[in-house]
């Protein structure tokens, strides 16, 4: 631990001796780089075991100067005058180091054989020997002297002498480790020290390279002086010539500006924006430059040009707004008139899509082309597009507001005619009801018609905005081969330059060329940019990007405004939508989805706000429907009397749909949902969870027609099922060939599960929540059923006098049926569940299924327990019956009352369970009953004291009577293949009466 400083100190002394003791008296003559390199690699070369002793001192001429300082007084003496005492000082200074050297050499001698084996390829054994000599404490990974325990173990000294001894021992440990490390290095890296030598040579070459670089820099400096002086002289002469030419062109410039101002006034007054912009471009370049500097007569030129440009921009902006927005307002009147006619007449007509044909699109683009070119040249198109965005947004909001104001009275009148006075809720303020109250007063069908009308109006405005967007994009990017392609490219270049000038006006410098030459050069450069479309300038690219961004933002803002208004309409009726029926809510949900899809397709961005509103209402709908079903199933269970009911065919159809829904849903559900998302069809729901896709030759069905058809399909389906319910029923509910006896609460739960499946199919974004709700209602049904039947709670809430075996059997059938259909329900519900949530939901629903299985087993155990209790009751009365067996006058040949009562109750239980439960369950239950009867009866008979022949005959008759009953019981456990239900009672009979009696 203490050897490192001493070794460093020793190396410093040695190098100092080299630098001070030189036979020629020279100081440092080598360069700094060489000295640094030699000092850094000295220790490595000295420790190189592969270098001969003759190579250790490469300063062979100065080897005599490397004597230690103790030999300085002895140099002047002759060799004959030196005695051993003269070296005493030196001996005393190296005695410790010499003893240490002897120890290391002795150690090396001992490990000579191991070193030889290392040289043959067994590297690492020397280090193992080193580990044996040095205590293991110093090789621990967590060795730290600051740790108290480690410090006390490593430095257990208590005096200065022990401290010195410890330092010497630590130095010895370090030397041993270094020696073995050097050996290992020599075995593993033969070229390491050769690299050290090459490093020294490299340092020398670096020094030589630095000197050559300094020489080259000096040469370059001389060349620069000679070349720059002559170039400066040429530049001075050229500047003088340019100034003289500029003076000549000043007079021509004044004449040109005066003529341009006169022409500019005439062109602006006549509305010739293109010609006026040509003049303003020239004048603007003159104003931005320095040609007119110092001319007092043109001090107002900048203001005049700015006023002219502002007038031109006003004209172009007004024309653009008229072409882009004002011409689209006429379609709103047509749409509203059509919706009013359809609202007053109960017929559904198909509306044509609002799209421009190819000729109208071409005319519209030709109309916008000169306006766009003019706005591009003045760099005002981005700002005009921002104004257009605000105007378009406001126009969209006003159109929706006007549509609601005009259609609401008509739809309200229709809603009033559909409801009787007792069915419709009238607002307290009557005719002065607010807009929100009126919207809430609409029926769901009328509200869907209102949304459909708004959708058409929004689509008309958005399609118009999309045409404007496409026209601008076509003008900016797709004019290859068009007659105006060069003009557009020039306009983009001019607009980019104008935008750059307006942003950085102070940094622009004037040209010294004459005006006519400057204008020609500028137009030529712009034409070059127009012709060379593959390498536009960065300014043009940035300007075009700004235009396209603002162009896109205008359509996006219009779609966002429509989304916001639509979301407000949904928000007004947020409290009503959760209470709707599934088919009514689906009409609103599907038309909103189609609206979102259509506007997002045009706008190019997702409407997160309206999607959030729709999802929140879907969640509220699901929560309300679930809460209402939980309340209903709770009330049904509390009123359940656990009496078997006939099963209408409606419920059998639901079970059939569960079995066949795997192929049906996998083929149709994805297609139906894609039709909703991509506006290519209509999805309607039916109660059995299947899907119907309604398309007409690949064209989308109109929204109002879709809503009516959706509702009509569901209503018709429900009506058919109600008719079937009144006509046809069955005693059991068949599932995969197995019949189940049902009670009222089981059928209602099945109906609810089918409704949850419908909600999961048609609200795929809420599929995970639907699974949670299904798990919750199944868990509640199972828990509450257990409380009512096994816990005898039905005796308090339903008024039952007792819980009989028939009640238990019917409860077992219901629980078994739900347990059987859970896998199919899980498979259907999980078709739309995201993969990331499936694992957790699978655990939940599997846990519920396991709870149902445990509940069913507990019911069967309860049936067995009832039989055990009845048997114990009869066994307790057996001693009184046996007392009469010893009377000789008793000549009754029948079995005793004990045997007859016991077999009667067993037979009754068999008849009840065999009629209700499945054969497998009956066999399992009676297998346990048989075991109990055998054990309890044989044990009871074994305790009896039978002393008379009459009593033995009675006992024999009872045993045979009970065994006859046991033989007839169904059981899946046969002790002997020849004798059914063999058991302990048979063995008792053989023991008492012999083998022949058995």
Report d(CA 744, CA 647) in Å as an integer. Answer: 9
**Per-residue pLDDT for 931 more than 80?**
yes
Residue 741 clears pLDDT 90, i.e. is over it: yes
Q: Which helix (H) or strand (E) holds 685?
A: strand 682-685
Short-list 851, 583, 829, 520, CA closest to 719:
583
Q: Stretch 649-673: mean pLDDT, rounded?
A: 66
Q: What is the pLDDT of residue 381?
A: 84
Q: Mean pLDDT, to the nearest integer, of 788-801?
A: 89
How many DSSP H helices and E strands does the chain contain?
32, 6
pLDDT of amino acid 703: 35
Give CA–CA dist 44/192, Å, rounded.
9
Give pLDDT tens digits for 809-836: 999 999 999 999 999 999 998 888 888 8
Q: What per-residue confidence (pLDDT) applies to 526?
A: 43
**pLDDT tens-digit series, residues 498-518:** 777 666 544 444 433 333 333
pLDDT value for 522? 43
Residue percentage of the chain with pLDDT more than 70? 72
Per the document, the length of the chain is: 998
Which letter does DSSP use for residue 296 in this model?
Answer: G
Pairing of strands 733-735, 647-648: unpaired
Q: What is the pLDDT of residue 76?
A: 61
Query: For residues 376 and 488, is the Cβ–Cβ distance under 8 A?
Result: yes
Distance CA 449, CA 699 (A): 20
CB 928 within 8 A of CB 857: no
Q: What is the pLDDT of residue 587?
A: 92
- Interval 648-653 mean pLDDT: 91
Least confidently predicted of 234-243, 391-400, 422-431, 611-620: 422-431
Give residue 227's Cα distance to chain centre: 67
Distance CA 932, CA 905 (A): 14
| Predicted local confidence at residue 203, as pLDDT | 92
CA-to-CA distance for 410 and 782, rounded, in angstroms?
A: 50
Structure tokens at 340: 């009013």
**Cα–Cα distance, 573 to 575 (Å, whole number):** 5
Question: If 0-12 CB within 10 Å is exposed, 13-18 middle and 19+ buried, where does residue 158 land?
Answer: exposed
Q: Give helix 485-503 / helix 538-572 axis angle, nearest 10°.
A: 90
Please compute Rg for the chain using Cα positions.
Answer: 53
Which segment of 34-43, 339-348, 724-733, 780-789 scores lowest on mean pLDDT? Answer: 34-43
pLDDT at 351 over 70: no
**pLDDT for res 221:** 83
* Res 84: pLDDT: 79
Mean pLDDT of 918-932: 90
Chain-wide mean pLDDT for the chain? Answer: 75
Instruction: Give me the half-sphere count of Cα atoms (radius 13 Å) on the Cβ side of residue 236.
Output: 6
Give the pLDDT confidence score for residue 812 in this predicted structure.
94
How far is CA 948 from each of CA 893, 940, 942, rounded to the nearest angstrom?
16, 18, 16
Give the pLDDT confidence score for residue 566 in this predicted structure.
Answer: 92
Mark out the alpha helices in 640-743 (DSSP H runs).
649-678, 703-727
CA 418, CA 446: separation in Å to the nearest integer?
10
Report pTM. 0.60
Check: CB of residue 267 under 8 Å from CB of residue 275.
yes
Confidence band (pLDDT; 50, 70, 90) for 863? very high
Whole-angstrom Cα distance, residue 225 to residue 859? 111
* Residue 602 scores a pLDDT above 50: yes
Residue 850 in this model has a pLDDT that exceeds 60: yes
Q: By three-state DSSP, how is residue 729 classified?
A: strand
> Has residue 56 got a pLDDT over 60?
no
Q: Is the pLDDT of residue 719 over 80?
A: no
**pLDDT at residue 441 above 80?**
yes
Q: Per residue in 281-300, pLDDT tens?
A: 778 778 777 777 777 777 77
Q: 850: Cβ–Cβ under 8 A, 6 or more apart, which residues?
A: none
Task: Kindly report which listed range (35-44, 170-179, 322-331, 850-859) carries the lowest average pLDDT score.
Answer: 35-44
Q: Is 497 exposed, middle or buried (0-12, 13-18, 19+ CB in 10 A)?
A: buried
Angle at CA 265, nearest 5°, toward 262 and 269? 150
Instruction: Enter the tokens of residue 81.
Output: 């005058």
The predicted-structure confidence for 89-148, as pLDDT tens digits, reads as follows 888 888 888 888 888 877 766 656 555 554 555 556 767 777 788 888 888 888 888 888
**Dihedral class, residue 434 (left if φ above 0, else alpha if ψ from -120 to 50, else beta):** beta
Task: Please give the backbone phi and psi of residue 859, each rounded to the nearest 5 degrees, phi first.
Answer: -65, -45
The pLDDT value recorded for residue 418 is 58
- What is the pLDDT at residue 689? 32
């Amino acid at each position: 631990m203490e050897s490192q400083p001493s070794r460093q100190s020793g190396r410093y002394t040695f190098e100092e001796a080299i630098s001070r003791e030189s036979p020629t008296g020279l100081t440092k003559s080598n360069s700094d780089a060489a000295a640094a390199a030699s000092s850094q690699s000295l220790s490595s070369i000295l420790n190189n075991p592969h270098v001969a002793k003759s190579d250790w001192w490469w300063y062979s001429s100065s080897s005599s100067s490397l004597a230690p300082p103790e030999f300085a007084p002895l140099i002047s003496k002759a060799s004959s005058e030196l005695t051993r005492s003269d070296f005493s000082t030196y001996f005393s200074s190296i005695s410790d180091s010499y003893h240490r050297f002897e120890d290391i050499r002795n150690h090396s001698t001992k490990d000579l054989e191991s070193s030889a084996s290392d040289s043959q390829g067994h590297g690492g054994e020397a280090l193992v020997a080193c580990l044996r000599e040095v205590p293991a404490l110093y090789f621990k990974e967590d060795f730290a002297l600051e740790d108290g325990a480690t410090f006390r173990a490593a430095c257990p000294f208590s005096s200065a002498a022990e401290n010195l001894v410890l330092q010497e021992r630590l130095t010895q440990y370090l030397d041993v480790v270094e020696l073995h490390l050097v050996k290992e290095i020599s075995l593993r890296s033969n070229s390491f020290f050769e690299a050290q030598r090459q490093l020294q040579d490299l340092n020398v070459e670096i020094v030589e390279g630095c000197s050559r670089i300094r020489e080259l820099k000096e040469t370059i400096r001389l060349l620069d002086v000679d070349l720059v002086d002559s170039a400066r002289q040429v530049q001075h002469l050229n500047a003088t010539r340019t100034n003289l030419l500029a003076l000549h062109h000043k007079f021509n410039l004044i004449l040109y500006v005066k003529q341009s101002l006169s022409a500019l006034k005439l062109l602006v007054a006549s509305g010739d924006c293109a010609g006026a912009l040509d003049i303003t471009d020239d004048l603007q370049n003159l104003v931005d430059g320095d040609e007119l500097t110092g001319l007092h007569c043109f001090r107002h030129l900048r203001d005049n040009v700015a006023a002219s440009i502002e007038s031109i921009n006003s004209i172009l902006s007004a024309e653009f707004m008229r072409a882009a927005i004002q011409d689209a307002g006429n379609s709103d009147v047509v749409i509203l008139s059509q919706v009013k006619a359809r609202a007053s007449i109960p017929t559904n007509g198909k509306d044509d899509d609002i799209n421009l044909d190819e000729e109208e699109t071409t005319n519209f683009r030709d109309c916008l082309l000169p306006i766009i070119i003019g706005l591009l040249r003045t760099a005002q198109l981005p700002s005009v597009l921002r104004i257009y965005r605000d105007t378009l947004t406001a126009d969209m909001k006003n159109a929706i507001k006007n549509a609601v104001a005009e259609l609401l009275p008509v739809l309200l009148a229709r809603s009033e005619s559909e409801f009787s006075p007792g069915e419709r809720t009238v607002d307290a303020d009557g005719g002065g009801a607010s807009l929100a109250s009126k919207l809430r007063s609409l029926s769901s069908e009328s509200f869907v018609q209102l949304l459909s009308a708004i959708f058409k109006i929004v689509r008309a405005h958005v399609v118009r905005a999309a045409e404007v967007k496409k026209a601008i994009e076509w003008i900016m990017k797709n004019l290859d081969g068009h007659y105006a392609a060069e003009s557009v490219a020039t306009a983009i270049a001019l607009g980019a330059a104008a935008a750059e000038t307006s942003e950085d006006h102070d940094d622009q410098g004037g040209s010294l060329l004459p005006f006519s030459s400057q204008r020609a050069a500028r137009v030529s450069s712009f034409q070059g940019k127009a012709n060379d479309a593959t390498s536009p300038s960065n300014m043009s690219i940035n300007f075009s990007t700004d235009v396209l961004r603002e162009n896109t933002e205008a359509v996006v803002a219009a779609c966002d405004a429509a989304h916001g208004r639509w979301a407000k309409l949904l928000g007004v009726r947020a409290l009503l939508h959760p209470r709707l029926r599934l088919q009514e809510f689906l009409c609103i949900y599907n038309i909103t989805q189609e609206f979102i899809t259509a506007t997002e397709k045009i706008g190019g961005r997702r409407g997160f706000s309206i999607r959030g509103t729709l999802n929140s209402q879907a969640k509220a709908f699901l929560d309300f429907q679930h809460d209402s079903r939980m309340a209903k199933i709770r009330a049904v269970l509390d009123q359940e009397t656990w009496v078997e009911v006939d099963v209408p065919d409606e419920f059998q159809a639901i079970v059939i749909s569960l079995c066949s829904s795997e192929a049906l849903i996998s083929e149709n559900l994805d297609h139906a949902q894609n039709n909703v998302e991509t506006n290519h069809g209509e999805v309607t729901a039916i109660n059995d969870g299947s899907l119907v896709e309604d398309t007409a030759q690949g064209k989308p069905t109109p929204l109002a027609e879709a809503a009516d058809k959706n509702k009509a399909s569901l209503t018709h389906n429900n009506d058919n099922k109600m008719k079937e319910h009144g006509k046809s029923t069955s005693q059991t509910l068949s599932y995969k060939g197995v019949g189940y006896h049902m009670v009222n609460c089981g059928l209602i739960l099945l109906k609810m599960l089918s409704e949850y499946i419908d909600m999961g199919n048609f609200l795929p974004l809420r599929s995970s929540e639907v699974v949670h709700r299904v798990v919750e209602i199944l868990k509640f049904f199972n828990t509450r059923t257990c409380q009512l039947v096994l816990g005898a709670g039905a005796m308090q809430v339903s008024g039952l006098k007792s819980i009989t075996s028939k009640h238990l059997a019917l409860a077992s059938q219901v629980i078994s049926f739900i347990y059987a259909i859970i896998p199919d329900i899980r498979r259907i519900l999980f078709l739309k569940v995201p993969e990331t949530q499936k694992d957790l939901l699978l655990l939940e629903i599997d846990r519920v299924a396991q709870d149902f299985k445990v509940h069913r087993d507990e019911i069967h155990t309860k049936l067995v327990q009832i039989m055990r209790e009845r048997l114990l009751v009869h066994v307790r009365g057996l001693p009184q019956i046996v007392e009469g067996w010893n009377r000789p006058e008793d000549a009754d040949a029948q079995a005793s009352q004990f045997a007859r009562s016991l077999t009667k109750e067993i037979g009754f239980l068999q008849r009840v369970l065999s009629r209700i439960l499945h054969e497998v369950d009956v066999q399992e239950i009676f297998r346990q009953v048989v075991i109990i009867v055998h054990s309890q009866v044989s044990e009871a008979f074994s305790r009896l004291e039978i002393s008379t022949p009459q009593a033995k005959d009675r006992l024999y008759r009872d045993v045979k009577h009970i065994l006859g009953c046991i033989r007839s019981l169904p059981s899946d456990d046969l002790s002997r293949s020849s004798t059914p239900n063999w058991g302990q009672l048979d063995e008792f009979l053989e023991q008492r009466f012999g083998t022949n009696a058995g």
